[in-house]
Amino acid sequence: MKHHVEIMKNKTPIMKGQVLGRTHLLIPTVAAKIDLHKIHAENKQDPNSRAVLHAIKSMVIRWSHQIHDTVNKDSAKPRLHGLHPDPQTELNFWKARKDNPLYINQESPVDQKMIKILEAKESIYYPTSKDVFKEVEDGV
């Protein structure tokens, strides 16, 4: 039941972001509530710690796909599908292309907390998570 509630909880901000033309990065509930000092002190074999790390690693994978799709959108795609967008559509595309990485960058406090957890636990996902946010910075 908790898993289904988590899924429904995550769908709402995604839909809101799609309506507003923004990319919303999901944050697992367990990671948002975790205390950084506690995670540093925990043993790597602790089951709760492993569950938190698994949730964060799963999010990093999703983030990388979301951000890659956002940063690599192409304004020519509608033309390739036979559509003929007007100049206002083109302007709207480039405005969204500028605003979306800025929006992602503003979401970053909890995201940065998750990255610090990966760093503290010496996860192999730590470099990937840094690369994901480097891609956002480059997009800005």
Q: How far apart are CA 59 and CA 27, in angstroms?
A: 7
pLDDT, residue 14, reads 74
Q: How is 55-121 classified by DSSP, letter by letter?
A: HHHHHHHHHHHHHHHHHT--TTHHHHTT----HHHHHHHHHHHHHHHHHHHHTHHHHHHHHHHHHHT
Tell me, what DSSP letter sits at residue 26?
-
Out of 47-51, 54-58, 74-78, 99-103, least confident range? 47-51
pLDDT of residue 133: 79
Domain ranges of the chain: 2-69+87-139
Please state, for a pLDDT cut of 90, what percent of the chain lies above it: 0
Cα 83–chain centre separation: 30
Specify the pLDDT at position 81: 80
Task: Give tens-digit pLDDT for 15-67.
Answer: 777 777 777 777 776 666 666 555 555 555 566 677 778 888 888 888 888 88
Flag whether pLDDT at 124 surpasses 80.
yes
The residue type of 131 is D
Residue among 7, 133, 118 nearest 57 (CA): 118
- Tell me, what's the pLDDT at 68? 81
pLDDT at 77: 81
Q: What is the pLDDT of residue 31?
A: 61
**Contact status, residue 53 vs residue 122, Cβ threshold 8 Å:** no
